[in-house]
Amino acid sequence: MPELPEVEIVRKSLNKKIKQKKVKKVIIRNRNLRLKIPSNFKTNFLNKKIIKVDRFSKYLIIYLPKDNYCLIHLGMSGTIHIVNNKSVNKYTNTSFYNSPFLPKKHNHVELIFENFKIIYNDPRRFGFFQLIKNNIDLIKRFSHLGPEPFDKNFNLNYVLNFFKGKNKDIKNFLLDQKFVSGIGNIYASEILFFCKINPFKKVKLLSKKECKKIIINSRKILLKAISKGGSSIRDFKDTSGLKGGFQNEFKVYQQEGVQCKNIGCSDIIRKKIISNRSTFFCDSCQK
């Protein structure tokens, strides 16, 4: 599943391409995604100008006229492709997640513009589109989620109060979207390595200094991942033919058996399973 940086790359690609563009035609080939595509979906888009594409956490938000919104969540296997009418489309994927080429199957939704179209592909159909009718409902829609790492509300007081008396380990908290939104398995492992905190450490045992490190490094790691174009777990490219480069920066994720990259450490990176997720860490550096 794409994490915050990968979704941000999709947002940037989409916003650049469809902002202030009018939708000429809508094709729905399969309404049966995780949430069934509503019957009024076409009317919300047809002949409407896209105001902008925003993002919260791992959700894309398409701003439509008259205070209407469309949320898109990519689920496990969803990808958004840009197909130009008048040029050869070697790479169509707006991010570095899954295939860079437009697949022949599972193209469920198409938004057709003047000289190009946007296609939503999702083999497993765990992604969804959701229409939101006003700003109040949009705010309510995300009320169950914690702040993003970049949010000013993700601060020391918030973290200390959230952790107070809790017995769960820090890795699970970083994956808990009710605590902080947008961090997934890749970046949680990387963040804790930079913090020098063991992923199994109970949050009630974390010091104030360690909590500060979590806030600082969450922002630092995600910003760096965004600047590098996200993480290409395989050799995939985006619509410009560029690859996500953050996978070249991994210190622990998928580095099991490799010597720790910290200067002076000769230990190897280990892998353990926490809540059915692979967790990578250095036993010597992360206490």
Catalytic choice (12, 19, 31, 277): 277
Contact assessment for residue 120 and residue 31, using Cβ atoms and an 8 Å cutoff: no
CA distance 83 to 103: 12
Does 34 qualify as catalytic in the annotation? Answer: no
- The catalytically annotated residue of 11, 58, 171, 243 is 58
Q: Is 58 a catalytic residue?
A: yes
| Residue of 3, 6, 8, 210 with catalytic role | 3
Name the residue with tokens 């919104």: 69
Q: Is 103 a catalytic residue?
A: no
65 catalytically annotated: no
Q: How far is CA 82 from CA 48, 115, 221, in A?
A: 18, 11, 28
Using CA atoms, how far residue 64 sits from 20, 46, 134, 243, in Å, is: 10, 11, 10, 31
User: Which residue in the list 2, 5, 100, 147 is annotated as catalytic?
Assistant: 2
DSSP string, 202-252: BGGG--HHHHHHHHHHHHHHHHHHHHTTS--SSS-B-TTSPBP-GGGG-SS
**Beta partners for residue 128, in sequence order:** 73
Q: Tell me which residues are annotated as active site.
A: 2-3, 58, 277
